[in-house]
């Protein structure tokens, strides 16, 4: 999965033009990149993981937050979030993970059923 992640990040950087900080998608990399006020939640959630099935989702969520936390200002944060969303989506698709259509995402966001 390391090659798929590396390729997804490279493709996301190219697609979004992101030039910000490169946060390693590891427990140590994420933990050190998070703002101090988020680290306790990160490590608490890590300790509460019941199985390895949720570990990838855990890494994806917290890596995105760490990339955002590494941004220098609000504009850079928005760019970082765009980049992280694309990278995680590309990685998920590359490893055959679950994907959602735009209609399904919008339905989740509004509480409606997808058509």
pLDDT value at residue 76: 95
- Whole-angstrom distance, CA of residue 79 vs CA of residue 48: 31
Unique residue bearing structure tokens 């735009």 = 102
pTM given for the model: 0.82
Q: Is 73 part of any domain?
A: yes
Q: Could you tell me the pLDDT band of residue 1, with boundaries at 50, 70 and 90?
A: confident
Q: Which residues span the domain enclosing 54?
A: 2-110
Mean pLDDT along residues 85-105: 81
Average pLDDT on 24-52 reads 92
Question: Residue 72: helix, strand or coil by DSSP?
Answer: coil
Assign 108 a pLDDT band (cuts: 50, 70, 90).
low
Residue 90 lies in a domain: yes
Domains identified in the chain, total number? 1
105 falls within a domain? yes
Answer yes or no: is 47 within a domain.
yes
Query: Taking residues 69-73, what's their average pLDDT?
Result: 95
Contacts of 96 (CB under 8 A, 6+ apart): none
In a domain, 115, yes or no: no
């Amino acid at each position: 999965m390391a090659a798929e992640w590396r390729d997804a990040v490279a493709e996301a950087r190219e697609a979004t033009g992101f030039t910000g900080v490169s946060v390693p998608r590891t427990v140590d990399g994420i933990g050190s990149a998070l703002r101090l006020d988020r680290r306790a939640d990160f490590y608490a959630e890590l300790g509460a993981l019941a199985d390895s099935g949720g570990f990838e989702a855990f890494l994806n969520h917290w890596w995105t937050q760490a990339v955002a936390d590494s941004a220098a200002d609000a504009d850079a944060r928005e760019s970082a979030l765009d980049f992280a969303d694309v990278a995680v989506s590309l990685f998920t698709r590359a490893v055959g993970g679950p994907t959602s259509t735009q209609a399904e995402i919008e339905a989740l966001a509004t509480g409606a059923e997808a058509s």
